[in-house]
Amino acid sequence: MRDQAEQLREIVSKLQKGNKGKDRGYARVITITSGKGGVGKTSFTTNLAVSLGKMGYRVVIIDGDFGLANVDLMLGINSRFGFRELMSGRLELDQVMTEGPYGIKFISGGSGIKELVNLGTDQLNAFLSSIEELNKMADVILIDTGAGATDNIVKMILAAHEVVLIVTPEPTAITDAYALTKIISSARPDMQLQIIINKAESVGEARGVIEKFTRASERFLGIKVKELGFILEDAHVSRSIKEQVPYVLGYPKCKASKQMELIARRLSDKDDLTNNRGMTSYIRRFISLFKLKDGHESMPSNTDEVG
């Protein structure tokens, strides 16, 4: 009897074959996630977006956190509408997008994302054709997901080709991130997984975590996790959140800003157009994962390898 992970691999591989070539040159879709909450995903996402915007990239952020959506707060913008209005056909794409600094655009996915699965064919097609527009207006689409290994979040991750995993040096953050990596690697061995260490006290501490994590992932999970960089603990981060101005704008010379610049440059260096599959195929894959009952393996209990 075939297990669920195998079924999932098959479906994903069919989808990939179907999409190859067609979407080349489309927006690069990156999900930003973590095993544990409060590790700095949203502040990372907004500041990365601004840094990429500064470099001349056209960036769209989708807030994919169903529970604690707060990208707009950190960007200092106000958004009233999102996927929900777009899906119902009540509003057009440009009416649900809000513009932030450096022309970055923001869309609230929110709870609308979960309802995608319930759309009828006509509604879904209308939604997908407006999403298609995103591919033309963006070079990079960043999706800020909620934390953890719940079904919905894992599906949001598995639908992408590229994931940035945010980890802090806390043991709980590391083991939760490792558990998530285990799920991702078994369902999508081809996933481009990149790691960021956030809130480390020193470069040495950050390097230690990166090394331990990448080594354990390669040895026990057979997946190469790439190092994207680190952002040390920096009081400017929380100050900038209170001020609702991303730190790369408000404190461009602080440690976190310098480290973020390096990360943005590294990420853009890795830009490989052949791996782009665009936003439309992201949504299609996401929906097909939903239609698959229990689309991924449950949370593995043994995470000793990285401890």
Ligand X SMILES: Nc1ncnc2c1ncn2[C@@H]1O[C@H](COP(=O)(O)OP(=O)(O)O)[C@@H](O)[C@H]1O
Q: Which residues bind ligand X (CB under 6 A)?
A: 34, 37-43, 147, 198-199, 231, 233-234, 237-238, 241, 256
Number of residues located near Mg ion, criterion CB under 5 A: 2
Query: By C-beta, is 42 or 194 nearer to Mg ion?
Result: 42
Query: By C-beta, is 196 or 225 nearer to ligand X?
Result: 196
By CB under 5 A, name the one of 33, 34, 42, 181 that touches Mg ion.
Answer: 42
| CB 148, min distance to ligand X, A | 11
Query: By C-beta, is 8 or 153 nearer to Mg ion?
Result: 153
Query: By C-beta, is 58 or 239 nearer to Mg ion?
Result: 239
Cα 163 to Cα 192: distance, rounded to the nearest angstrom: 6
Query: By C-beta, is 158 or 260 nearer to ligand X?
Result: 260
| CB 214, min distance to ligand X, A | 20
Q: Which does 256 bind (CB under 5 to 8 A by kind): ligand X, Mg ion, none?
A: ligand X
Per CB under 5 A, 145 contacts Mg ion: no
Stretch that binds Mg ion, among 35-43, 177-185, 208-216, 233-241 (CB under 5 A): 35-43
Binding site for Mg ion (CB under 5 A): 41-42
